[in-house]
């Protein structure tokens, strides 16, 4: 199980680093667009589409690692009042409640992506990014989120918080 956890966590961390790179690029693209538009009166045709795709990547691909590391916003008033097995049970139940959302992301994300490919949908911006590209983030991240739930549940059951350094 530790090997599975390390592989999933490593994959999630890889995507988190990509999110960090895209966040920096997003800031640069936005800055460039503002300067080009308002100082030189020469807006770009690509900045809006590229920044939208990068923002979608950042939002979707950071979910799994944030769940594994316990950095999602949580309401813990019940779990904090419980101890031992009862606290573990509530935490596991909370994690398992995420699985239906991950399933919906995968199921409908695949349908949305297939529809975008079939209909040759493009973004409304001037660059016309094929919409299957950002839409495919949804099912991929649904799978990553489900894997994060499995890892987190096993972490709760086994009580091993130190499998991966920083994987708290």
Residue ranges of domains in the chain = 2-158
- The mean of the pLDDT values for the chain is 90
The answer to whether residue 161 scores a pLDDT higher than 60 is no
Joined together, the tokens standing for residue 159 give 């009580």
Q: Which residue has the higher pLDDT, 156 or 2?
A: 156
Q: What is the pLDDT of residue 127?
A: 86
Say if residue 55's pLDDT is above 60.
yes
**Helices (H) and strands (E) in the chain — how many of each?**
7, 0
Q: Are 43 and 36 in contact (CB under 8 A)?
A: yes
Mean pLDDT of 83-93: 89
Q: Do residues 90 and 78 touch, judged by C-beta distance below 8 A?
A: yes
Looking only at Cα atoms, what is the longest distance across the chain? 63
Q: Are 1 and 154 in contact (CB under 8 A)?
A: yes
- The yes-or-no verdict on residue 62 having pLDDT over 80 is yes
Task: Please identify which residue in the block is written with the tokens 């890892």.
Answer: 151
Answer yes or no: is pLDDT of 159 > 60.
yes
pLDDT of residue 136 exceeding 70, the answer is yes
Q: What percent of the chain has pLDDT over 70?
A: 95
What pLDDT was estimated at residue 126?
83
Please give the backbone phi and psi of residue 130, each rounded to the nearest 5 degrees, phi first.
Answer: -60, 125
First-to-last C-alpha distance (Å) of the chain: 16
CB 64 within 8 A of CB 15: yes
């Amino acid at each position: 199980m530790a090997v599975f956890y390390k592989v999933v966590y490593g994959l999630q961390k890889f995507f988190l680093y990509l999110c960090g790179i895209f966040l920096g690029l997003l800031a640069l693209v936005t800055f460039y667009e503002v300067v080009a538009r308002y100082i030189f009166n020469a807006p770009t045709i690509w900045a809006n589409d590229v920044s939208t795709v990068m923002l979608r990547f950042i939002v979707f691909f950071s979910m799994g690692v944030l769940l594994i590391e316990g950095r999602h916003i949580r309401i813990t008033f019940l779990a904090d009042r419980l101890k031992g097995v009862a606290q573990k049970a509530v935490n596991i139940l909370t994690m398992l409640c995420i699985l239906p959302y991950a399933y919906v992301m995968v199921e409908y994300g695949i349908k949305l992506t297939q529809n975008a490919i079939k209909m040759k949908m493009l973004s409304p911006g001037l660059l016309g990014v094929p919409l299957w590209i950002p839409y495919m983030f949804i099912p991929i991240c649904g799978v990553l989120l489900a894997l994060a739930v499995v890892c987190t549940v096993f972490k709760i059951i086994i009580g091993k918080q130190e499998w991966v350094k920083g994987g708290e």
